[in-house]
Amino acid sequence: MKTLRIFTILMSFFIMVSCEDQLEVIPEDKVASNTVFGSLATINGAMVGVYSLNQSGDLNGNPQLMGDFMADDVKFVGSFPSLQQIDQFGTLATNASIDNIWFDAYQLIGAANNIIVNLPEVNIEDVIGLTEETKSQLVAEAKFLRSLTYFTLVNLFAQPYQVSNGTNLGVPLVSEPFEGGDISDFQNERSTVNEVHSFIEQDLMDAIAVLPETNGVRATSGAAKALLARLYLYREQWDEAADMANQVISSGTYGLADDYDFYDDNPESMENIFVAVNTPTDGPQEPTGSDEVYVNFYNPAPGGRGDAPFSQDLIDAFATEPGDRRFEELSQAAADAGGNDTFFTTKYPDVVNNASDGMILRITEMYLTRAEANFRNNTNVGDSPQNDINLLRARAGLDELITLVLDDILNERRKELCFEGHRRMDLLRNNKNLRPGGGAESAPGANKVIFPIVDDEINNNPNITQNPGNF
């Protein structure tokens, strides 16, 4: 049994020093703090370490998988007991899969906190090549990854904003690295959803002010704006959501791809704003790479698990408008793990090399966010909702919509973003049951549409409150 969760995690900060294709992982208790920040190489290595933690399949992989099979896009046929439990809305606090999400999330948060708190105190005169600009950018990158991780946590372990206008409990906020002393300082009660959202918003605003527009496959100001647009959409702050999405669209840094080849191992496509990049070298490494989870989406024939095919409901949704390129070009007919004829997504195509990239933020989502926010707010920031939706439909080979209702926007969002983990939250925030004709267990606000706080945390934190209906 794993021991103290947040507390043990905070004590296990890792330094990862980049060496061409591999990362050397050194536990903090074997390296003095002044060594971590004693050279530009080890400082950069610490930041690379946070990105490497973001590759974890428990942070980018399982949330996408669970976000679709808990909803109506995926029919889960896998044999993993912990995933079956989640699929059947019977998740226990001892569930190994959610325990790993909690552990990996706070491990990343602890590593990011170490950079955010300690790097600004480093004297640039003591480190050859270090500048104030570099320090500020690395802190901003750490804040972006911390905010992304907190957003994942609060979406999975707390009811959405719509249930109680954000006054319900979210997750514990930890903003300091553990450097010894009284552990009780880190045995926090859960902050409210509003407080967690506010913390995320501030991190992202700080990052936007510092991050460059282009930064290779690392965090950019556009990525921070895109994540903030998603946060505002989930909070029904329509003005802010439309404005932030419009800033990303109008920046000129990103653009809709002509086709859907950007899924095929092309992280630097203009379509992509931020992805979890997996390579044949680092995809399968510990912590388990995202691609080790994405093989669930792929059919068994070329090496996938075949656990997560299209649901019949999603197949039917595409069938209402035959010829949709998002189905014709991004699906493959095959038998699932249970021997049933069905379809699988090809959005994670490099299963042979364990090198499929994880879609986190892309420009298409910004068009959908701008369209929905403008429609709900009766505004036309950047463009009209109808033009935004028809732009995406044109790429998909579909006719223009002459009139537009909210369900049209949500349907386009579903077909565009399926298998990327958005569906669960899109249904919950719109007060819709997660399953077609589903019962009370999958209804908005039901106890098991969110995860229980993990057993290890409950047992070792006397101040934390469990979610209702869990034990």
Closest by CA position to 462, among listed 453, 449, 452? 453
pLDDT digits (tens, 9 = 90+) for 263-278: 876 777 899 999 988 8
Give me 404's structure tokens.
């537009």
Q: How confident is the model at residue 15, as a pLDDT?
A: 36
pLDDT tens readout for residues 400-443: 999 999 999 999 999 999 999 999 999 999 999 999 988 999 99
The whole-angstrom separation of Cα 299 and Cα 26 is 37
| pTM of the shown model | 0.92
Render pLDDT for 107-133 as a digit per residue (tens, 0 to 9).
Answer: 999 999 999 999 999 999 999 999 999
28-42, 224-238, 239-253: least confidently modelled range: 28-42
The Cα–Cα gap between 20 and 287 comes to 19
Higher pLDDT, 180 or 235: 235
pLDDT at 62 over 50: yes
Residue 325 has pLDDT above 90, yes or no: yes
CB atoms within 10 A of CB 13: 26
pLDDT at 11 over 60: no
Mean pLDDT along residues 334-338: 88
Q: What is the CATH architecture assignment of 6-460? A: Alpha Horseshoe (1.25)
Q: What is the pLDDT of residue 2?
A: 35
**Given a cut of 50, is residue 446 above it in pLDDT?**
yes
Q: What is the spatial distance between Cα 339 and Cα 306, in angstroms, rounded to a whole number?
A: 9
Judged by average pLDDT, the poorest of 56-65, 109-118, 158-167, 309-318 is: 56-65
pLDDT classification of 284: cutoffs 50, 70, 90:
very low
pLDDT at residue 10, as a whole number? 42
pLDDT per residue over 357-405, tens digit each?
A: 888 999 999 999 999 999 999 999 999 999 999 999 999 999 999 999 9
